[in-house]
Amino acid sequence: DNWNVMQWRLPRVMAAAASGLMLAIAGTILQRLSANPMASPEVLGISGGCAIALILGIFLLPAPTNFTLIGVGTLGAFATLLVLVGINRKSGYLPERLLLTGVAVSALFDAVRSVMLAGGDPRGQQVIAWLAGSTYYVDITNAVVVGGIAAVLALVTLPFTRWLDILPLGAATAKALGVTLNRARLALLLLVALLTACATLVVGPLSFIGLLAPHMARLVGFSRAGQHLLGAALIGMLLMVLADWVGRQIIFPYEIPAGLVASLIGGAYFMWGLRRL
């Protein structure tokens, strides 16, 4: 009996934990890179850009596989990052301008989603199911793949901890300490794009874990880059698994998708965070 239960629950727990890990690391990198406590993949529109690409992939490609969609989503996330970088380069990446650009991308995503779903295409149901961020359709193979990708990307992040310690000190200090700013920013933004695309594929474009987990890790007392990444990753995993569990239990036998539960928690936290600014 226990094994039967595990067959159903283990893939969902693995997928939720892996996506929480990736969003938390992406959010931590963005917050340290921009020195902006309100930066996250969701708020900056990176998840929205990834979502636009995924919706277009579902509608335009014949029978796309998960790996194809990950590739398309990564391109969408990276294209959004290039737009953010291009628009904000002259201003020196001011937090206010970055957030406004993110709001614009999110508005564009909402418009594209509405147009795609207004036509009554049967594939719209697949898009709606994905947008909700449910782990319901994840099987053990997908869970292992997502978990493996999350582990690899987390390990890839480790060599960048020196940059992440130095970059919040400002451009002048970073240059004085030998960091090539353009190369460092581009490498870190590409890593954020990969993390966001893979996580968004599992839990949808809005979960706010990328905003919430780095904040909570900082509140606990993790300040150095390595500690901050580890703390945020653990908190992100815990929050996403908790959101999946709450979504299954709160109105049993019906379900609320994990992505929506995490968005409810994250949205409330975001409003509270804005009140404190």
8 A C-beta contact, residue 188 and residue 41: no
Digit-coded pLDDT (tens) for 168-193? 877 788 888 887 777 788 788 888 88
**DSSP letter string, 16-46:** HHHHHHHHHHHHHHHHHHHT-TT--TTTTTH
Give the angle subtended at the CA of 54 by the CAs of 79 and 97, to the nearest 5°. 40
- The tokens describing 154, both together, are 């987390």
Classified as helix, coil or strand, 219 is: helix
pLDDT in tens, 217-253: 988 888 888 999 999 999 999 999 998 888 888 877 7
- Contact criterion met (CB below 8 Å) for 261 and 247: yes
Here the tokens at position 228 are 């901050």
pLDDT of residue 177: 82
Q: How many CB atoms lie within 10 A of CB 220?
A: 14
pLDDT tens, 11-34? 888 999 999 999 999 999 988 888
pLDDT in tens, 118-151: 877 777 777 777 777 777 777 788 889 889 999 9
- DSSP symbol at 167: G
The average pLDDT across 155-160 equals 92
Residue 87 has pLDDT above 80, yes or no: yes
Task: Give the pLDDT score at 173.
Answer: 83
C-beta separation of 259 from 132 below 8 A: yes
Evaluate if residue 1 carries a pLDDT over 80: no
Mean pLDDT of 144-171: 89
Q: Predicted confidence band at 276 (pLDDT cuts at 50, 70, 90)?
A: low
pLDDT of residue 23: 93
